[in-house]
Chain A
Amino acid sequence: MSKREPIAEGSEWTFDALETFEREIGKIAADRYRLDTYRNQIEIISADQMMDAYSSVGMPVGYHHWSFGKQFLSTEQRYRKGHIGLAYELVINSDPCIAYLMEENSMTLQALVIAHACFGHNSFFKGNYLFREWTDASAIVNYVLFARDYISECEERHGVDTVETLLDSCHALMNLGVDRFRRPNPISPEEERQRQKEREDHMQQQVNDLWRTIPQKEQIAEEKWPRFPSEPQENLLYFIEKNAPLLEPWEREIVRIVRKIAVYYYPQRQTKIMNEGWATFWHYNLMNDLYDEGLITEGNVLEFLQSHTNVIHQPDYDSPHFSGINPYTLGFAMFSDIRRVCENPTEEDRRFSSGYAGADWLEIVHHAMANYKDESFILQYLTPKVIRDLKLFSILDDDSDSAISVTAIHDDDGYQNVREGLADQHNLSKQEPNIQVWEVSLRGDRSITLHHDQHDRIPLDEEDAKEVLKHLHRLWRFDARLESRRGDKVHRVFHCNDEKVWIDSGEGSQSTETS
C-alpha cells in the first residue's frame, strides 16, 4: 500500500482537516471494522461551554435547577484552580450523534477524539442492547426540550420555589425511577406533547378511583381488602406518579419527566467500562491505521500515544491518586485482550476462554459490545492475563471481623473469585440498596411503607435515608415508613410524618429523633 500525504501539519487544527479526518476515519471504521454509527454532528466549543455542558449532565438543553448550578460552580472552581482538566470531548447518545470537541485540543487530539467519540461511543450507542432497548436516540433532544419548556411553564404558573422543591424530591428518588426487570417504552416527544393533557385527566381519574372514600355497594369486610400494591413495586417514581393521592396533574407530569430522564441514563450507568473501553480500543486502532496509511506523522503518533497512556493510567489502590478502577483502563485492557485471545491464544486461554480462543476477533468484540453490560461483560471476558496485568485482588471487609482479609489474588485459585467480585462491583442492583414499595394503607391512614432488603447486612446510610424519606413524604403527603430488613427480621424502621423523622430499631426499644 502506497503511503499517502499526511492530512495536516503542525498542531493547529482547521475545519478542513476535521472534515478530512472524519471522512478518513469513517472510511476505515466502516469498511475495515464494520462500525455502524449514527450520523455525526461535531460541535466545537470553548472551555466555558464545556463547563456548561458538564453541569447539564451532557444534555444540550436542560431544565433549570439549583443542583446544576452547584455542579457548575464546583467544576468552575476546580478548573480555575487547576485541580482538574476538562474532558477533550463530550458525546451525547442522540441521532445525529452530537460530539462536543474542545477548541483548545491540538490537531492530533481532535483526530483522536473524533475516533474515540464519533466512532467509538457512537457505534456503542447504536449497537449495545441496553441502549437499543432503553433509549430512543432520535427523540432524546426533543424530549429534554419538551421537559425544559414544560417545567419553565410550571414555574411561571406555580412559582419557582414550588417547582424546585418538587424537583428536589424527585431527584432524591431518581435512582428508584427505573423498572430494572422490564423494558420501558422508548420516549416519543411528539406523543408526549399530544397526549399529555389527555393523560393528566385520565390519571387524575384513576387516582380518584383508587382513593374513593364513599362506600361502595358491596362493602368488603376490612380484612378482606387485598394488599395494595399486590406485588412489591421497585419503580418508586412510577408508583408515585400513578398513585400518590394528592399530587396535582402537573406535579405528576414533572415526576414523569424526571423518571423518563432517569431511564435515559440507566444504560450509561451500567456500561461505563464497556463504553469507555470500546471507544478507547477503537481510537487506539484507528489512530494506528491512520499512521500506517501515512495520514498522520510520527510526531502525531507520539502525541497521541502520550494522551492515550494518560487516559488509561490506573493508580494502585494505595496511591493517593486512587479513586476506584479506571473504566478506560479496564475496558481497553479487556477489549484488547479479546483480540489477543482470538489472534494468539495461549494454552491458558484455551482452558479459560475456550468459547472464543482462536475465533475471528472482530466478530467477537462486536458480539461482546452488542450483548453485554459491565457486569456480564466482566464475568464473561475478564481474562487471567488482564487480572495479572492489573494485579487485581479481592478483599472482604466484614464488620464482624477485626481485620480485612484478602480473599483472592491473581493466581490460579483466585481468577474466578476476582472475576465474580469485580462483576458484582459493577452490578447496580448490588451496589445500590434494594428498596421497594411494600404497602399502601388504602382504607386506613393512607401511609406508604417501603421495604429495604439488606444485602450482606449492609445497612442504609441513616442520615441520607431520613432526608430521602422526607422527600418521599413531601410527594406522598401522608406518613411514610421505611423498614430496613435483614432477612426476615426488621433491623431499622424509618418514620416520617408531618412533623418529624425518626428511626426505631427493629425491636422498637431505642429511638432517635430529629425534627
Chain B
Amino acid sequence: MSETDIIKSQHPGANGAAQDVVLSVRDMCISVPGEDGPISLVRNLSFDILKGRTLAVVGESGSGKSVSALSIMRLMPKTTITTGGVLLHGRDLLTLKEREMEDVRGNRIGMIFQEPMTSLNPVFPIGMQIEEVLHRHGKGDGSNLMQQVIRLLDKVQIPNAARRVSDYPHQLSGGQRQRVMIAMALACSPDLLIADEPTTALDVTTQANIVDLIKQIQVEDQTAIMFITHDMGVVAEVADDVVVMRNGNAVEKASSREIFEAPSQPYTQRLLSAVPIIGSMRNSTKPERFALIGDEPAAPAPAAVAQGAQGTVLDVKDIAVSFEVAAGKSIFRKNVVRAVKGVSFDLKAGETLSIVGESGCGKTTVARTVLGLQQIDSGRITIGGKSMTDIGKQQLREVRRNIQMVFQDPYASLNPRLRVGDAIAEPMLAHGFSRGEALETARQLLEEVGLTADMVTRRPHEFSGGQRQRICIARALALKPKVIVADEAVSALDVSVKAQVLNLFMDLQDRYGIAFLFISHDMAVVERLSHRVAVMYFGEIVEIGPRSAVFGNPAHPYTQRLLSAVPVPDPSRRSHIGSVQSEPVRRDDLVTGQDLTKRSYRDLGGGHLVLE
C-alpha cells in the first residue's frame, strides 16, 4: 500500500473529494552541490494534497520543509538538483520550461511567506501590488481590476477595503500585511496555497486571526493548502493531514488526529512531549520540568538549599519610560511615546516572574530598565536591597553584579571572534577576578549548563543555537547573580531544544535559588515555568498574580483574549471558525504631556491584581 492509499483510505467517505488530488509529490529528492559532492537536503519525499484539505508539514529548523516548498514552486537556485515528480493535477512541474512555470506561480499555486514586513514592496500601494498579480495572469481588464482587488481585500477582511487600496505597506500592521499577502496569493483563485510559516512572526492574537482566515477561505474556495510550520498548536488548529519531517526525511505521515492521539514514531512522540500545552498545569502551583522522552538524562536531584533563600531581590516601583520620536517633518517638534507607564512589581529569591504581552507592549523595555540599559523617567528600582537609581557609576556596577541577562538571539549575543571561555570569563574579569580563576570557573560553568569543560577553547560558530544559549546562560551565571533576566530567551529555539533549555532554567533555579524575570510572548511556556505572571498591555501591567490564578481565572479582558488565542496542540479542542475576536483598535499611544492617569488595581486575593 503506498502512502497515497494510506491517506486516502483514512477519508474514504469524504464524498468523492478524496479522489481529487491537487498536488502529488512523488519521491522528491533535493540536493545542492557542495565542496565534497552533492549535499542531500530532502530524500524521497512523497505526499498528496487533496482538494479542500490542509496538509501540514512540520519539523524543526533544517528539516527540509521550506526547501521542499520552494522546490515545488521551483524557486530554488539553478544549481539545485531536484528529482522525482511534482504533479499538479497530473502535470509534472519539474519538467516544465521556466516560461510555463511562471504561468503556474501565483496563478495555479499561491504562496505566503513568513515575514509580512519584507514580502511586500514598500514603494507601491498594496492595491497596485495585488492588481499586478491579476494583470500578469490576464484576469480581468482595466476598470474591473480594481473592483477585483477590493473584493479580494474584503475577502481577507481588511476593513474599508475600498479606501485601503491606495495605502502603502508601512501604513498597515503586521497582521494586515499578512492579510494582503494572502489576498495576493489568492488573487487568481489558485488550486494550491503554500503557506510557509505564515504566522510565526505574528503575535498570538494576530496569529489566531490569520489561522482563522485561512480556514475560512478554505471552506469557501475548497483550496488545497500546504501549511509549513514548526508550531504543533497551529498544526492541530489547521491540519487535516500531517507530514513530520526530520533531517530531510519524512518521519511520519498520518491524519492530524492520529499524529496527536497516537503518534507511532519516536521522533514524533518526542516532538510532542516537548510542546508545552496551555492549561496542562491547572492542578499545580509550582513550575514543572518537561518530561522529555529520549535524549536527556534524568534531572539531578535538586539540592534543598534553594528554599533557604527568601526575601525580595528585585523591587520595581512605579517606573515610567518614554521615547522621543520625530513628529512630522520638523526636526524640532518631537512626540513622546510612553513605552512604560507606572509599572510596579517585585521578585523574590527562587521565584520566576513572567512578563507576557504582545510585541510593542513594553515588556522588553522593562527588562532593559531593570538592567540599567535604559534610563527611567521616574520611579525606583531596587536590587538586593540597594537602589539602582540615583547612584554613581561605580556603585551601579556593583549593584548590577546581582542581575544578569540572557538575550533572545543566541547567534547575536556572542562575539564571533571570542573563544567561548573568554566570553564566559568576561563578566568575572570585569569584576576583578584573575584570568586563571575566571577561566577555571568558566570550565565549571560549562559543565553546569550541560556542555563539556574542554569547549572553552572553541569559538561560537562551532555551536548550535541551543548550545549557544547554554553558553549565554553560563555567562549570566558567572557572577552568581540573584536575578537573571531572560528576554525571549527560548523564542528562537526549536521545540525540543526549547524544552531542554527551559528545564535547565528550572534546574538552576532549584540549585541556586536564582530569581528569573522571564519576558515572553509564549503563553504555554510561561504557564509551565512561572510562579507568578504579569500581563502587559500598552505599557501598563493590566494583571499580575500567581500563575495559577492568572491562567485559571483571568480577570482582565485582555488576558482572557490572549489566553483564548493560544493554539492548543489537540485537534479535538480546535476553535470554531469565527470564534476569535478581531484585532484590537490601537489606542493612540502618542502623548506629549505628563502621565496623569491614576492607576488603581483591584485585589482579587492572594496577590492577584487587576487594572481597573
**A associates with B:** no
